[in-house]
Amino acid sequence: MKKILKNKKATAGLIMLIFFALLAIVGPIFVTDDPLSVGSVPLERMPLAHVSDAPGWYRSFLGNPDYTNNIYLANEANFNTAEGVGKWQNSSTSSGITFTWNPDEEVNYNLPPLSPDIKKGCLEINFTSAGNATLTLPFNYPYAIPPTEFGTEFFYAIQTQTQTIENGGLGNLTLYAYFVRESAGGNVTYPANLGLPLINTNTTFQLVPYYQICSLNSELVQHYGGPIQMLRSMFQIPGPYVLQFVIQFEGNATASGNPVVLLSNINSLLYGNTFGLLGSDDLGRDLFTQLVAGTRISFILGIVTAIMSVGIGLIVGLVAGYIGGGVDEVLMRINDMLLVIPTLPLMIVLVFVLGQSLINLILVIGLLGWMGFARTVRSAILSLKERSFIEAVRSSGGGKFYIIRKHLIPNVFPLVYITLAMSVPGAIVTEAALSFLGLGPQDVMSWGRILAEFEDSGQVATGAFTTWYWTIPPGVCIALLSLSFILIGFALDEILNPRLRER
């Protein structure tokens, strides 16, 4: 280890390798978005970002007022504690309607992909008479330009003392959602008394546990003429605003079974045009999350395939070189046959037949990467087995397996170390090439897949440097991680190779 640390190439390689190892191990702690699926843990089905966002630091670093950040209005309103309900203390109700925190009920219906940490607790709204239950949440919108999009989602359940209602329409529940702008001339309500129906039935209060309001709702688009016009109308100026929910009950509460609405997991987000450390892709997924996920995949794929190919090459080379004869002839002809077949087309065919998964890609790259090392080991064994110390061991009664295990393998192990270090970059680059061709693993996110999805997004026409935060980081990571193993391999060669060591 001291010799390795004294070597400048090895030191530089280790520093880069440690950086990527920390990114792979510690990075997931700082990311929350799913690198593959649109959606995330804190915001359920809503993506964390708008599509094709620039990095979140663009606004402060460039000082450009045209860049806006996300504004989270209610991304923690799970109501699993009384404090969560307290965020909505500005609520008002008609007489005969009560708000209480219910710590025992869980409004969670396991509609994928739900967060696994949704806990019990909800806001219980009890209608003992007809009227409106109003929930308000004030917030400040600081930007002079409107958000790119907005999304609001929540979970709810409707309970009654009697599940079925007599025919004739004894009760209707309707939800209205508004943004209210506070101004000196009076409050302006958006979307202009346009109600979004929560549930409206005259036969039964049926369960509809999930609802999402976004700027693409057909009712809103029809009312305003489009999502852009709607957002411009809502957020004309910066200042104080209010997010408001109104649940309206019309009918005979007693005859309807005294309806109770359970409300929980309210998430509301105004999307800006910047997000995170590296922005978002064309599906609104966090690019930094994808970069971190790709680091883990590159480590796993590179190291496992290198161990597999070096292990196969070591066994084949040892057996062919030491046993010789017909065994050597058969193994080397198989080796030569695989060497002359073009590797990339063969890999493309095998991946296409086996399927695009990480395991299949590891198997394909590992099983097609041992031939060169097998010939190197065979050459070394052919030289070693004629040495005098091998003849002495053989004369002393040492068997074939004893000689291989105790004398031949230790003498070729420097080759193993060097080849392992040099094989990892080849596996990483091969995966990136296959992914860029659309044949990479589809069950994980890798650096090559990030580049492939940029290619498929249609943004290539704008140039790679226009959205550099999507293209440059994965390319640089592939180059630097490969370079780190190459430098370590060169350093090991200088340290372990007797000719280079004497020089």
Is residue 59 one of the residues assigned to a domain? no
Beta strands in 207-310 (DSSP E): 210-214, 239-251, 260-271
pLDDT digits (tens, 9 = 90+) for 249-307: 877 766 556 778 888 777 788 888 898 889 888 888 889 989 999 999 888 898 999 99
Give Cβ neighbours of residue 24 (< 8 Å, ≥ 6 apart): 292, 295, 296, 299
Please state the domain count of the chain.
Answer: 2
- Do 188 and 308 reside in the same domain of the chain? no
How far apart are the C-alpha atoms of 207 and 147, rounded to whole Å?
Answer: 33
Cβ(7)–Cβ(495) below 8 Å: yes
- The pLDDT confidence band at residue 18, using thresholds 50, 70 and 90, is very high
Backbone angles phi, psi at 60, to 5 degrees: -75, -35
Together in a domain, 102 and 218: yes
| 349 lies in the same domain as 417 | yes
Identify the CATH number of the domain in which residue 299 sits.
1.10.3720.10
Q: Give 476's pLDDT tier (boundaries 50, 70, 90).
A: very high
Q: Is residue 281 part of a domain?
A: no
Task: Answer yes or no: do 484 and 397 share one domain.
Answer: yes
**Do residues 242 and 180 touch, judged by C-beta distance below 8 A?**
yes
Which of 22-26, 42-46, 130-134 shows the lowest per-residue confidence on average (mean pLDDT)?
42-46
Q: Answer yes or no: are the C-beta atoms of 169 and 251 closer than 8 Å.
A: yes
Tens of pLDDT, residue by residue over 45-80, are 567 788 888 998 988 888 788 899 888 887 556 677
pLDDT at 165: 39
Tell me the pLDDT of the chain averaged across its residues.
77
> 271, 302, 333 — which closes off a domain?
271
Residue that finishes a domain, picked among 271, 305, 327: 271
pLDDT above 60 for 498:
no
Section 393-414 average pLDDT = 79
More confident residue, 121 or 498: 121
SS3 per-residue string spanning 98-165: EEEEECCCCCCCCCCCCCCCCCCCEEEEEECCCEEEEEEEEEEECCCCCCCEEEEEEEEEEECCCCEC
325 and 387 both lie in a single domain: yes
Q: What percent of the chain has pLDDT over 70?
A: 76
Amino acid letter, residue 341: I
Domain hosting residue 159, numbered range? 71-271
Q: What is the DSSP letter of 404?
A: I
Same domain, 247 and 303: no
**Whether residues 315 and 454 fall in one domain:** yes
Nearest to 72 by CA among 139, 155, 13, 27: 139
Residue range 175-210, pLDDT digits in tens = 777 777 776 555 555 554 443 333 333 333 333 344
What gap in Å lies between CA 420 and CA 302, rounded to an integer? 10
Based on the fold, state whether residues 244 and 342 are members of the same structural domain: no
Q: Which two tokens stand for residue 237?
A: 């100026």
Three-state SS annotation for 435-501:
HHCCCCCCCCCCHHHHHHHHHHCCHHHHCCCCCHHHHHHHHHHHHHHHHHHHHHHHHHHHHHCHHHH
Average pLDDT over residues 108-136: 68
**Model confidence at 410: pLDDT above 90:** no
Six-digit token string for 446: 């890798």
Provide the CATH number for the domain around residue 191.
2.60.120.260
Longest distance between any two alpha carbons in the chain, whole Å: 106
> 347 and 231 in one domain?
no
Domain final residue, candidates 213, 236, 271: 271
Q: Give mean pLDDT, residues 105-128.
A: 64
Domain membership flag for residue 282? no
Q: Are 497 and 414 in contact (CB under 8 A)?
A: yes
Nearest to 470 by CA among 281, 272, 285: 281
Neighbours of 412 (CB within 10 A): 18
Q: Which two tokens stand for residue 142?
A: 């600081």
pLDDT of 38 reads: 63
Clarify whether residues 310 and 181 are in a common domain. Answer: no
Can you read off the two tokens belonging to residue 357?
A: 């998964």
459 has pLDDT over 80: no
* Residue 464 confidence (pLDDT): 67
For residue 61, tell me if it sits in a domain: no
475 and 327 in one domain? yes
- Positive or negative: CA dihedral 52, 58, 64, 68: positive
